């Protein structure tokens, strides 16, 4: 890693408490260089001085580094698997319990399309029983600007291009040249800042504890070096409740250390499951 990039990352960590050293070096090098060329062409020292004069520049740099492409129901086959297999299994497993609660974490939620897509699927799956259930969906991201967009709940036609027309009509209202998410879905999701490589800020603070029934961390691991990937996978595994599901991106897989712990239940869609807790038999 060159001296300039090392200094930028060190000062970013000091200013914002964010450690991006686990990102793939080639990705960091490319995105930081592109951003510096755009803001202070050919002058790294001038860029560092600018950081000191304008603290908000750190947030803009984070946004430039953590570029994400997202849309509602991106990768429709994965969402079909959630609707067909995962959510019915979770709902059935909790039907007889005292607490009818489903806990979800969208890790690396970008501008909110993923957690809101899951919220729509849950609303569909529960149907008339929706008022009898507590659906807690936590969504975290490193990019504060992306979280602000998610909070607004307003999306373009392009961001909804893989959403079935009936769902658009039911869960969105037209708003100028875009669409506004209805409050009934927006209110199911709690958005917060989170850093997956930080032990102190990985799991959503508002969730109080992990015990998630479903964790989605899609197209995030690919940006990290192998050691950071393994650490993130361990965080995700610890956050899962027994019997909970983990969903990764199409080009991702769990770390070698967890391959014997998490069962691959749908390799095509990268869906894994933590073994359910064994029930102890009757004492004799």
List, for residues 39-51, the tens digit of each pLDDT value.
Answer: 887 678 888 888 8
- Which one has a higher pLDDT value, 184 or 23? 184
> What average pLDDT does the chain have?
89
**Starting from the edge strand earliest in sequence, which strands make up the sheet with 154-156, in order?**
154-156, 178-181, 172-175
Q: How far apart are the C-alpha atoms of 161 and 218, rounded to whole Å?
A: 19
Does residue 10 surpass a pLDDT of 70?
A: yes
Q: What is the pLDDT of residues 113-163, one digit of tens each?
A: 999 999 999 999 999 999 999 999 999 998 888 999 999 999 999 999 999
Instruction: Render 141-172 in DSSP notation, one character per residue.
Output: ES-HHHHHHHHHTEEETGGGTTS-HHHHHHHE
Least confident interval from 67-71, 186-190, 251-255: 67-71
Q: Which two tokens stand for residue 131?
A: 């008022």
pLDDT band per the 50, 70, 90 thresholds, residue 25: confident
Q: Is the separation of the CB atoms in 216 and 106 below 8 Å?
A: yes
- Band (pLDDT 50/70/90 cuts) for residue 208 is low
pLDDT tens, residue by residue, 119-133: 999 999 999 999 999
Locus of tokens 């990352």: 9
**Which residue's entry shows tokens 């929706």?**
130
What is the CATH code for 76-273? 3.40.50.150
DSSP letter for 284, please.
Answer: -
In this prediction, residues 20-25 reach a mean pLDDT of 80
Asked whether the beta carbons of 111 and 150 are under 8 A apart, the reply is yes
CA 179, chain centre distance (Å)? 22
What is the pTM for the complete model shown?
Answer: 0.84
Question: Is pLDDT above 90 for 169?
Answer: yes
Task: Read off the tokens for 202.
Answer: 């990985």
Per-residue confidence band for 284, with pLDDT thresholds at 50, 70 and 90: very low
Average pLDDT over residues 91-101: 85
Domain spans, the chain: 3-65, 76-273
């Amino acid at each position: 890693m060159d001296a300039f990039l090392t200094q930028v990352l060190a000062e970013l960590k000091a200013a914002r408490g964010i450690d991006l050293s686990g990102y793939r070096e080639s990705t960091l090098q490319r995105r930081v260089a592109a951003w510096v060329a755009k803001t202070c062409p050919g002058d790294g020292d001038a860029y560092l001085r600018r950081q000191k004069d304008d603290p908000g520049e750190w947030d803009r740099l984070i946004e430039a580094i953590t570029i994400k492409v997202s849309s509602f129901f991106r990768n429709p086959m994965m969402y079909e698997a959630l609707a067909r297999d995962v959510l019915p299994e979770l709902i059935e497993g909790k039907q007889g319990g005292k607490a009818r609660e489903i806990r979800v974490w969208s890790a690396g939620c970008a501008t909110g399309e993923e957690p809101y897509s899951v919220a729509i699927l849950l609303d569909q799956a529960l149907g008339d029983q929706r008022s009898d259930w507590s659906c807690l969906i936590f969504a975290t991201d490193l990019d504060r600007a992306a979280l602000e967009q998610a909070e607004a709940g307003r999306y373009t036609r392009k961001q909804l291009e893989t959403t079935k027309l009936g769902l658009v009509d039911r869960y969105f209202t037209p708003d100028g040249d875009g669409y506004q998410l209805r409050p009934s879905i927006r209110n199911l999701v709690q958005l917060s800042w989170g850093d997956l490589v930080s032990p102190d800020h990985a799991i959503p603070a508002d969730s109080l504890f992990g015990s998630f029934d479903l964790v989605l961390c899609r197209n995030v691991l690919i940006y990290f070096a192998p050691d950071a990937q393994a650490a993130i996978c361990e965080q995700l595994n610890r956050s899962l409740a027994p019997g909970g599901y983990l969903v990764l991106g199409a080009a991702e897989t769990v770390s070698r250390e967890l391959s014997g712990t998490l069962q691959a239940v749908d390799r095509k869609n990268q869906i894994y499951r933590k073994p359910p807790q064994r029930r102890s038999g009757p004492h004799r």
